[in-house]
Amino acid sequence: MSSDFPETADIETASLGYASRFSGAVGTWMLNVQTEVTLQMLKDYPQATVLDVGGGHGQITAPLIANGYQVTVLGSSEVCRARIQHWLNSNHCCFQVGNVLDLPYPDNTFDVVISYRFLAHITQDKKFLSELARVAKKAVIIDYPTVQSVNAIAPYLFQFKKRFEGNTRRFICYKEAELQAYLKSLGLRLAERYPQFLFPMVLHRMLKSPSFSSTLEQSVRSLKLTHFFGSPVIAKFTKG
């Protein structure tokens, strides 16, 4: 289903087809990495109000709720609520349709603003980031692929990935220095960063062994390779 808004990448990420990319034991392992990092970055904000922009994929909804956060998910269309309907029905979180380039909230409405699986697929990234910064009172947490990682050669491997994953799509890789400089101009400073994987996620899906993948990633992380070349990066930026 389409939307009249200019940036609607979350309609795809909120779909069942996209969710299938994180099914099974390997998908669970990948999401657990994301969850652990997210909760660690949020530990200084107990019971905070959290806006999850484009969070209809539901990847962090349950962990946030279970850890006492007051969660609002913003989606580009009503269809983006389907995967989080269970928590909406039980009044554990809220959902609102809105334009990510013109968020329907006053400045500093939420303690923390999170957005995963969005920045890599957006065309108006500066406007998007400025809106996240505007409505966040304390921190913004985002994820993104980087140009210094294996993700940088993804365009050359696109057809291979598409044959294996079926519903993959192209994405934008970022120069971290430029991204951090722009966020700094918005009053946000880098507080924490965590590159998730050194090896491409498609490789881990092909291996189909979370234990082997975990060992593989831990070995290169201990050599500091992931710090410099890992992707996607989860980064926390704070105000003040």
Which of 180, 162, 182 lies closest to 171 in space, CA to CA? 162
Q: Is residue 2 included in any domain, yes or no?
A: no
Beta-carbon contacts of residue 224 (< 8 Å; ≥ 6 apart):
none
Beta-carbon contacts of residue 162 (< 8 Å; ≥ 6 apart):
168
Q: Is residue 80 included in any domain, yes or no?
A: yes
Burial 119-129 (b: 16+ CB within 10 A, else e): bbbbeebeebb
φ/ψ (deg, to 5) at 12: -70, -45
Task: Give me the CATH number covering residue 109.
Answer: 3.40.50.150
Q: Are 220 and 195 in contact (CB under 8 A)?
A: no
β-strand 49-53 against 136-144: which pairing, if any?
unpaired
Q: Which helix (H) or strand (E) holds 195?
A: strand 188-197
Q: Which helix (H) or strand (E) holds 111?
A: strand 110-115
Residues lower than pLDDT 70 in the chain: 1-2, 150-170
Beta-carbon contacts of residue 47 (< 8 Å; ≥ 6 apart):
68, 69, 70
Place of tokens 């290169």: 220
Q: Is residue 215 included in any domain, yes or no?
A: yes
Q: Is residue 206 included in any domain, yes or no?
A: yes
Cα dihedral across residues 207, 212, 217, 220: positive or negative: negative
Q: How many domains does the structure of the chain reveal? A: 1
User: CA 195 to CA 226: how far, in whole Å?
Assistant: 6
- Residue 166 is which amino acid? G
Q: Is residue 232 included in any domain, yes or no?
A: yes
Distances (CA, A) of 114 to 41, 57, 202: 11, 13, 24
**The pLDDT value given to residue 153:** 52
**The pLDDT value given to residue 4:** 87
Q: Are 44 and 67 in contact (CB under 8 A)?
A: no
Place of tokens 């109000």: 49
**The pLDDT value given to residue 2:** 57
Q: Is residue 81 included in any domain, yes or no?
A: yes
**The pLDDT value given to residue 3:** 74
Which residues constitute the domain of residue 120?
9-239
**The pLDDT value given to residue 158:** 45
Q: Which helix (H) or strand (E) holds 224?
A: none
Q: Are 109 and 51 in contact (CB under 8 A)?
A: yes
